[in-house]
Amino acid sequence: METLKQALETANVGKIKEQEPLKKHTTIKIGGAAELFVEPQSIEALQSAMTIINDYAVPWRVIGRGSNLLVTDAGLNGVVIKLGKGINQMSIENDKLRIGAGFPVVPLATLMSKKGYSGFEFAGGIPGSIGGAVYMNAGAHGSDINNIIDKAHILFPDGTLKWMTKDELDYSYRTSILQSNQGICVEAVFHLEPGDATELFTNMQSFKDYRHGTQPYDKPCCGSVFRNPLPDHSGQLIEAAGLKGHQIGGAQVSELHANFIINTGDAKAQDVLDLIEYIQATIKERNGIELQTEVEIVQK
């Protein structure tokens, strides 16, 4: 790993750290250390880094703001790549928004509404970055990324870049082809509609206020834990089972919204995993429904 680190440093790809605690980079504030942690300073730097990492044949994974992620206590081998400030470029031309994967979603939704561009209002309360939103087909309030995206620029492990259309991304509920095919979204193009800035901002803010009033984003959490088994909703099933407030170790089912697990201060990833399993077993026995996790569980 030391020779890989030296190669990345020689290529000047960006910030590089060894044994970086991933709890510093996840919204639930949980996670062991990354063997090697890289924060590229540009798309070109990321492309160089991926080529080098591929040459060394070490495992890797990408994170953004860590809002839909549970990293186990043992941490991760290989390289963790964080897309952040170096990959947050933005341009608007003819109602087309081209935006870097590291740009955070909530500030983007706010900015677009203030500029009078409609389409991103639904995302006013969604934590995370554009790359993660594209990867997960993030959505809320009856809309999602699939409704507004034109194409995404994808970097593959061998260092090649390719634009993929919405159809090629094969979107469905909280799912894209990127979850089964290794590839990193580095930027995306969205089609937006002109609108009244005051009205758009008001609508966006109402979505944002609703989420903040009904979901525990003021506490360390990883967002919605389970996918909704439509037409049912996971939060309603969990609440009906009397599991609000149920706690294992430092992990607790939120009293505000039952599809959220919060870190009460000293939770381990294993506490969260045990609580997830307990909830799944309870709902399976009570309702005959097998809840599937929406949060991505990452381990060695």
Which parts of 192-268 are beta strand (E)? 193-194, 247-248, 251-253, 261-263
Residues 294 and 263 in one domain: yes
Q: How do residues 213-261 score in pLDDT, each as one tens digit? A: 888 988 999 989 999 998 999 999 999 999 999 999 999 999 999 999 9
Sheet containing 247-248: order of strands: 247-248, 251-253, 261-263
Active site residue 193: no
- Give the DSSP H/E element, type plus range, for residue 143: strand 143-144
Please say which residue of 70, 86, 102 terminates a domain: 86
Active site residue 174: yes
Q: How do residues 142-200 score in pLDDT, each as one tens digit? A: 889 999 999 999 999 888 999 999 999 999 988 899 988 888 999 999 999 999 999 99
Q: Which among 113, 118, 176, 224 is annotated as catalytic?
A: 224
Provide the pLDDT for residue 119: 92
Summarize the chain as % helix, strand, coil (round to 5). 35, 30, 35
Work out the percent of the chain whose per-residue pLDDT is above 90.
81
**Confidence check: pLDDT of 19 > 90:** yes
Residues 139 and 57 in one domain: no
Distance from CA of residue 207 to its chain's centroid?
19
User: What's the domain range around 165?
Assistant: 88-214
Residues 146 and 110 in one domain: yes
Q: Which among 65, 118, 174, 176 is annotated as catalytic?
A: 174
Active site residue 224: yes
Report pTM: 0.89
Distance CA 18, CA 1 (A): 9
DSSP state of 255: S
Between the CA of residue 190 and those of 90, 98, 108, 160, what are the distances in Å?
11, 7, 12, 22
Please say which residue of 167, 186, 214 terminates a domain: 214
